[in-house]
Amino acid sequence: MREPRGAFDFIVVGAGPAGCATATRLATLKPDASVLLVETGPAKSGMRSDVPLGIATLVPFRNARNYSYRTVPQAGLGGRRGVQPRGRGLGGSSLINAMIYTRGQPEDYDDWARLGATGWAWRDVFPYFLRSEHNTRGADAWHATGGPLTVSDLASPSDCTRAFIEAAAQCGHSFNPDFNGASQEGVGAYQVFQQHGRRWNAARAYLTALAPKNLTVLAETPVARVAIEDGRATGIACANGGSYAARAEVVLAAGAFGTPQLLMLSGIGPAAHLRELGVAVHRDARGVGANLQDHVDFVISRKVDDRGLFGTVPGILPQVLRAIGPFRRGTGLLTGNVAEAGGFLRTRAELARPDIQLHLCIGIVDEHSRRLHAARGLSLHTCVLRPHSRGSVRLASANVRAAPLIDPAFLSDPRDMETLIAGVGLARRILAAPAFARYAGPALYDAETDDEVRLREIIRRHADTIYHPVGTCRMGSDANAVVDPELRVRGVAGLRVADASIMPTLISGNTQAACAMIGERAAEFLACG
């Protein structure tokens, strides 16, 4: 490592929801310590991110705020390479995500504790969800106000969302006004990370709004590796040649792909794999990059000629332009998050809790909207909440700028296909209910076929992620766990991980809120030393 250009007490790498929470809370808890937060992406969020409907333009392809990774060929998906959008910049994936606020199910965290993540049961994590939350509905037994993450109801939900909830009720699924309340089960509209109809990304929440003076934020700075001397993390080396020393600790919060990539580039990972790439091994840690879990998802998209729906049609531009005025007042089309409504359902009555999640989108989402159709339409996503398939992240190159090899191993466990098929059946019944008759239309790829053999084939040809990769630096108490329950990397002093990668198992819902909760907890562990 070259002479450090600067020394800080703590260095946090990666400014996603977890990194922003870790850095800000740590700086607040330790006002006499200096904290550096380093992010490879841009400092500004940009208009397409701030305007919620801009998600439709940010997710499909690579841009300054989206890595848009591809997976390795997926045997379970007929050999296709999946798409893995990931946010880049201050706010991380909260710059490009669908803003949906869910915490998962209490049992998810009780499972973590049972698997060895001591101190992470629901009763332990719930206070940190509350600490991070500012719910504009107000506080109650399940919600808080005053936290940095503003959570709101959608300002202008579409008629389609209302019809969907009614159609689900006709199929016997109860309306749930609060997926983060007493029960997650049922169908309803999602609450979103928004303030006055604008995206409230994690950087705005934690960095801009709280802005502790002892926190230095550095954007456009890719970290190449952690410097390790005599078994201790001493700082970071950046890909642009700079370096920074950490007097106390380094924290990796670079996400489910970025963190294992950085650990491996720093010589912490499966030794044989690191040697293949010429990376000097500091610690043979087989768990690094293993245990990748993601929500495998199948979309039914229909072409529906309804002006309340979105699509690449000639009339859409004037409609968007007319929506600018209402947007300034915090309402209208542009405040929509596309994935407005959804639900958590059980595919079998004997199950104790929901095992699939639905997302209703008010546009056609074909291959993450990479494939466009000259039509308005809608999409209903079905995903498997607790998949059994396990994949991996490996290095493709010793250069941090090269994308890692991502293998979610989708549908490699046959149980996931069975859950998905059953879930798609539930979704289809809702789409066929009388209250949804107004939204009838031809389904892409014959996705509403009654022939189950054919449906399995269609699923293999079109299923992919709904963007919740986790687990690649698993937390636990066993020797193969990458981090211990206080998030310390086993076998390396002064180094922790705080992001989606530490989740032992994937939670039953969207993952941003849980990542902020992890960051909130990490800050306390760090402050206690």
Ligand X SMILES: Cc1cc2nc3c(=O)[nH]c(=O)nc-3n(C[C@H](O)[C@H](O)[C@H](O)COP(=O)(O)OP(=O)(O)OC[C@H]3O[C@@H](n4cnc5c(N)ncnc54)[C@H](O)[C@@H]3O)c2cc1C
- Are 60 and 67 a contacting pair, CB within 8 Å? no
| Proportion of the chain in helix, strand, coil states, percent, rounded to 5 | 30, 25, 45
- List the Cα angle 388/368/185 in 5-degree steps: 50
Distance of closest approach, residue 513 Cβ to ligand X, in angstroms: 6
Tokens linked to 311: 């699509």
86 near ligand X, judged by CB under 6 A:
yes
Tokens linked to 154: 């959608």
Render the burial of 452-483: b for 16+ CB within 10 Å, e for the rest.
Answer: eeebbebbbebbbbbbbbbbbbbbbeeeebbb
Binding residue for ligand X (CB under 6 A) from 253, 285, 395, 517? 253
297 near ligand X, judged by CB under 6 A:
no
The nearer residue to ligand X, 65 or 428, going by C-beta atoms, is: 65
468 near ligand X, judged by CB under 6 A:
yes
17 near ligand X, judged by CB under 6 A:
yes
242 near ligand X, judged by CB under 6 A:
no
The nearer residue to ligand X, 347 or 510, going by C-beta atoms, is: 510
- What is d(CA 344, CA 304) in angstroms, rounded to the nearest whole number? 25
Tokens linked to 12: 């946090």
Binding residue for ligand X (CB under 6 A) from 34, 68, 74, 97? 97
The nearer residue to ligand X, 200 or 428, going by C-beta atoms, is: 200
400 near ligand X, judged by CB under 6 A:
yes
39 near ligand X, judged by CB under 6 A:
yes
Q: What is the DSSP letter of 362?
A: S
467 near ligand X, judged by CB under 6 A:
yes
Stretches 15-23, 122-130, 303-311, 451-459: which one binds ligand X (CB under 6 A)? 15-23
Binding residues for ligand X, how many (CB under 6 A)? 42
92 near ligand X, judged by CB under 6 A:
yes
Binding residue for ligand X (CB under 6 A) from 492, 499, 503, 526? 499
Strands (E) in 165-242, as ranges, are: 186-189, 191-192, 194-195, 198-199, 215-218, 223-229, 232-238
**Burial of 423 from C-beta contacts in 10 A (0-12 / 13-18 / 19+):** buried
Q: Say how many C-beta atoms besides its own lie within 10 A of residue 395's C-beta.
A: 23
Binding residue for ligand X (CB under 6 A) from 16, 235, 269, 343? 16
Handedness of CA 204, 18, 87, 447 (dihedral sign): negative
Which helix H or strand E contains 254, and what residues bound it? none
- Are 417 and 411 a contacting pair, CB within 8 Å? yes
- What is d(CA 24, CA 3) in angstroms, rounded to the nearest whole number? 27
8 near ligand X, judged by CB under 6 A:
no
- What is d(CA 286, CA 268) in angstroms, rounded to the nearest whole number? 9
The nearer residue to ligand X, 67 or 428, going by C-beta atoms, is: 67
Binding residue for ligand X (CB under 6 A) from 510, 517, 523, 526? 510
Tokens linked to 83: 């798409």
| Residues linked to residue 399 through DSSP beta bridges, in sequence order | none
Binding residue for ligand X (CB under 6 A) from 11, 23, 59, 264? 59
Binding residue for ligand X (CB under 6 A) from 157, 235, 258, 441? 258
Binders of ligand X in range 344-383 (CB under 6 A): none
The nearer residue to ligand X, 403 or 421, going by C-beta atoms, is: 403
255 near ligand X, judged by CB under 6 A:
yes
Q: Which residue is nearest to ligand X (CB)?
A: 16
- What is d(CA 185, CA 413) in angstroms, rounded to the nearest whole number? 25
Binding residue for ligand X (CB under 6 A) from 300, 515, 517, 522? 515
Q: Is residue 359 flagged as an active site residue?
A: no
The nearer residue to ligand X, 38 or 459, going by C-beta atoms, is: 38
99 near ligand X, judged by CB under 6 A:
yes
Binding residue for ligand X (CB under 6 A) from 11, 13, 226, 417? 13
Stretches 23-31, 75-83, 92-100, 173-181: which one binds ligand X (CB under 6 A)? 92-100
- What is d(CA 164, CA 307) in angstroms, rounded to the nearest whole number? 16
40 near ligand X, judged by CB under 6 A:
yes
94 near ligand X, judged by CB under 6 A:
yes
Binding residue for ligand X (CB under 6 A) from 10, 19, 34, 184? 19
Handedness of CA 264, 266, 269, 272 (dihedral sign): positive
- What is d(CA 3, CA 419) in angstroms, rounded to the nearest whole number? 55
Handedness of CA 462, 101, 38, 526 (dihedral sign): negative
87 near ligand X, judged by CB under 6 A:
yes
Residues that bind ligand X (CB under 6 A): 13-19, 38-41, 59, 85-89, 92-94, 96-100, 222-223, 253-255, 258, 262, 400, 467-468, 499-500, 510-513, 515
Q: Which residues are catalytic?
A: 468
